[in-house]
């Protein structure tokens, strides 16, 4: 059985949101707690990348802060590899609705896989840690879609999930249901 590490990517600046969106409340709880609840049943352990939260193990972004989501994914891959995990399931702290069917599809993927519309939601084999280091060391834009292509990730199409980047996005979540 594959041993999975769950990683909440939560080190962003929330510049479009105007305040710390990970702690923005939805349905009475911080967004990051909803994201954690979505991953928890599918992973052996849960960590948070880029911040401290809720007593979870905190991983500092690698190789440095302000690397975007890839800094958190890199930290999670290295932690996974060092601690005997086969792969990492990642989700942004700003995506509180995650269908179990999507997670099941990611878990079943034989290699790297991510949601094409929101590639921070993905499955990344721990063996990719050094490859991501090399990618981040290159003098180019460190876009997560470019990394997914480099990693040969299966792009999961046809699923659009709400992602909270601005206060209006949070307001729009009212009435959203998982399908």
Q: Is 10 annotated as a binding residue?
A: yes
Q: What are the b/e assignments for 139-151, b being 16+ CB within 10 Å? A: eeebebeebbeeb
**What element of type H or E holds 12?**
none
Q: Is 21 annotated as a binding residue?
A: yes
Q: What is the DSSP letter of 117?
A: T
**Contact indicator for 9, 120 with CB cutoff of 8 Å:** yes
Q: Is 169 annotated as a binding residue?
A: no
**Contact indicator for 110, 28 with CB cutoff of 8 Å:** no
Rounded to whole angstroms, the Cα distance separating 5 from 46 reads 6
Q: Which tokens belong to 36?
A: 């954690």
Q: Is 144 annotated as a binding residue?
A: no
Query: What residue numbers does the annotated binding site cover?
Result: 9-11, 21, 61, 94
Query: What residue numbers does the annotated binding site for GTP cover?
Result: 9-11, 21, 61, 94
Query: What residue numbers does the annotated binding site for Mg(2+) cover?
Result: 94
């Amino acid at each position: 059985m594959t041993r999975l590490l769950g990683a909440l990517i939560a080190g962003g600046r929330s510049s479009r949101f105007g305040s710390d969106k990970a702690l923005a409340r939805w349905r009475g709880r911080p967004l990051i707690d909803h994201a954690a609840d979505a991953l928890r049943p599918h992973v052996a352990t849960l960590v948070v990348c880029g911040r401290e939260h809720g007593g979870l193990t905190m991983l500092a972004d690698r190789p440095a802060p302000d690397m975007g989501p890839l800094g958190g994914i890199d930290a999670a891959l290295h932690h996974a590899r060092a601690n005997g995990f086969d792969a990492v399931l990642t989700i942004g702290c700003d995506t509180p609705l995650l269908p179990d069917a999507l997670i099941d599809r990611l878990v079943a993927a034989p290699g790297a896989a991510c949601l094409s519309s929101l590639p921070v939601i993905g499955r990344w084999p721990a063996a990719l840690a050094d490859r991501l280091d090399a990618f981040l060391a290159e003098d180019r834009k460190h876009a997560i879609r470019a990394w997914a292509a480099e990693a040969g990730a299966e792009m999961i199409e046809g699923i659009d999930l709400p992602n909270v980047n601005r206060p209006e996005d949070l307001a729009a979540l009212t009435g959203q249901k998982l399908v």
